[in-house]
Structure 1
């Protein structure tokens, strides 16, 4: 089925997927992580293990979250901050795996990560699932579930790819959505024969991976104060686009199936894993657009900067937009708690036509300009026909800004459709504007 989707260019429908649908799905995934963490804790037997698991999970959440905060703060040297942000969470897991062995805590029997023998299925069977023994009636029964799974993978994998190629990441290499879905069909088939979990893109791991590959640039302009320098540092100059890190992750996953590493993984308490789920869920919620809009609505208006884009929209319209998103999340999350959980991909897929036909009737184009936006840049969406509403995308990445023209900037490299170059031009525009304002203020201070 994945091959049929790839051959028929079904990924062209991604031009209609905006942050509206992605935020709802990301919100749903974040709560699934939080729910999974709670479920792991409730499986602990006895008061001692239950209490220690809760404390450990909350400590992992606290330390893991602090590591992310340090990455965006001004303490330590920037390379140290980046190291803590990228590797703080796995190091936290290692630390608290040993932490529960300190003092009297080692006397408490905690449930740990269950493992099996190396390169051996968890159940008593051979490597290959005996699909040749499946009857024709069972195949017919499985077809509807296969369709639902295909819908889920189509949306989940492509949305995670879109979010991983968000407009904030200055990518230079083009996307390959059709080829990705074709390869996903191959890996899904192999996984089905082996009876292992199906591999596909995930939220929030995919965007976290892209963010970890981003390179920041510091401007050594002496006219800028330190706060401006810190703000510039958080702007990405480019992304290290390569395949080594993905290959390394796959090889490391394969290595964890060997007996030495299986023995090490078996030492990880389930309370630590619950804390990891909490960290992933909280980080996903923190970076979600729904959370951002809710925080904007409850924030003190006097502390809201005048440059906030949402100030251009009536607050009632923002609440209406957020309410629709929360309703979509609630419907998706609710169905997964029932016996009809297998049908939740349909609810997720219906978000696309809802955005195409329903939302434009409730909001004006000017309001949607601030409430919603394309997930990826025009450069990324070229392979699926461009962004809906931007024509054929031929001039989507051309810059026509009076501020840039006023300073006679050379815009010839901008027309190569590389979003990384566009980011550089935008930074140059900001620099020139700030310098111009500073020069004007100095002239005004001179005595007449």
Structure 2
């Protein structure tokens, strides 16, 4: 009955265009939700590791595998497998920057390293000596759907007629919370994956997505299965994987040509001509292609008022490029179909899934939590607050968010403290027995807090910087970062074909160009441009090897 009520509410949300409210969720809500999910994953990982030393409920403690020596052995193996998977998964995520192996092998390891590590540690768990008791290490338990023990799941629709009216009405309360969770989770994920910076061709369909989700929830409820809320096609990571990052390479080359033209005191028309030459050279596209429309738009923006724009272009040569050189995304429907087919195939793969040790699952939970932290500005601000004043200059040596320079530290600390306290409140609600399902409610209350309370505590400018719609990042100061690697220094002068350099940009800079939330990092003028007259302190210089 809970799934039926949930489906009905999702239908109403879709029919009355309730998804419009998602535009009121600003970055602060998304960051809090992401941090809460990370905390809950870490909590489950810790609980899971501790449970490896205990006898599961409804199990006979007199069994051999639950004797002290084997229970203790199972716990130690659980720690090894948990941290082993966590460490190797995090390492494989950075495989693109490895020095060894071919480019295709490194990319494959970075994209599919986590499932490969699950397989590897599962295989390692079968290398235990024969003297180890059966059931050590502990493995996942999942009953087969076609077993007699699971037969009652398929008769749910027949049993609904015997549910008392009181229980039917009581099911509305948890259904309301589940519908709110699905609405928030699905809509925010879709919004992040379809933001304007990705330049998607297909229009958004939030209401249609919620309607389909309602049908899926109803179907699962009628057959006795857990409701489905798969958001792979709406995941920012999915959009990132389809992005063509060659455009970022084109942008960097165009910016370089603009700076050279400015040094030669060229006019804006001449600057545009050089930018066009670079674009066509790298794109290798005939002038008759549709891409010329972008160049015409760029030319119009550059030459619109040459006199008025001269100062702006001189101060920031990238001012017109970002708006007319978007990242391209290869949109397709294959991923959606494959996701559904793999979910269906996983039902038949239950005998294989049951071979995975539970401790490997706890390591995967921890990996998901840790991997989601980079790119979350709440996490980055929490780290920034604990940096001592004498060491904060280190932040400016690498790429950093714009609020670090534009907002005084006391306001950054106050805003971070507010988010942290609100995060503790949301996390505390999850610990309330039965009522823990109410945790989506504070996120909806946050809409009113953001619109009516926060503007009274922070100035509009500071609030816009701390709760910006997109991730704005400032490039590191080259004068302060004197410890560049030899590869970075020699890269502009190195030989090699254009194709090879584009391949490096497409693969190895993927994680640097986008955050874990799927947002593009918008790079503005460098902080070093405003402090070029400052001297580098001797202690900041790191000698080369």
Partner of 2:371: 283
Change beyond 3 A, Cα 1:126–1:372: closer
1:239 alignment partner in structure 2: 329
| Match of residue 325 from structure 1 | 419
- 302-311 vs 58-67, which moves further: 302-311
Structure 1 partner of 2:459? 364
Q: Indicate the structure whose relative CO is greater, using CA pairs within 8 Å and at least 6 residues apart.
A: 1
The residue correspondences of 1:288-437 to structure 2 (distance < 5 A) are 288-299=376-387, 300-305=391-396, 308=400, 309-310=402-403, 311-339=405-433, 340-374=435-469
CA distance in 1, matches of 2:254, 2:415: 43
1:375 offset after TM fit, Å? 6.0
Whole-angstrom CA distance in 2 between matches of 1:75 and 1:354: 51
**In 2, distance between residues paired with 1:349 and 1:222?**
44
TM-score (norm 1): 0.75
Specify whether residues 341 and 167 from structure 1 end up closer, same or farther in structure 2 by C-alpha distance, changes over 3 A only: same
Relative to the length of structure 2, the TM-score reads: 0.62
Relative to structure 1, the CA distance from residue 353 to residue 123 in structure 2 (aligned partners, 3 Å threshold; closer, same or farther) is farther
Distance in 1 between residues matched to 2:176 and 2:192, nearest whole Å: 24
What's the Cα RMSD here? Answer: 3.2
The answer on whether the counterparts of 1:163 and 1:375 sit within 8 Å (CA) in structure 2 is no
Alignment of 1:28-427 (within 5 A): 28-44=36-52, 45=54, 46-71=71-96, 77-104=102-129, 107=132, 109-119=136-146, 123-129=150-156, 130-166=159-195, 169-201=198-230, 206-217=235-246, 219=249, 237-258=327-348, 261-299=349-387, 300-305=391-396, 308=400, 309-310=402-403, 311-339=405-433, 340-374=435-469
Q: Looking at CA atoms only, which structure, 1 or 2, has the larger radius of gyration?
A: 2
Q: Is the 8 A contact 1:70 1:84 kept in 2?
A: yes
Q: 2: distance between equivalents of 1:179 and 1:285?
A: 30
Give unpaired runs (5+ residues) of structure 2.
1-8, 55-70, 257-324, 472-518, 526-545
Unpaired runs of at least 5, structure 1: 225-234, 377-422, 431-448
CA distance in 2: counterparts of 1:158 and 1:106, whole angstroms: 52
Q: Which moved more, 1:311-320 or 1:102-111?
A: 102-111
Secondary structure of 2:235's partner? helix
- SS of the counterpart of 1:112? coil
State the shift of 1:365 in Å: 1.9
1:342, CA displacement in angstroms?
2.1
In structure 2, how many angstroms separate the alpha carbons of the residues matched to 1:170 and 1:90? 31
1:290-322 residue CA offsets vs partner (Å, 9 max, x unmatched):
112223334432212277412110111111111
Q: What SS does structure 1 have at the residue aligned with 2:87?
A: helix
Task: Find 1:26's aligned residue among 20, 23, 34.
Answer: 34
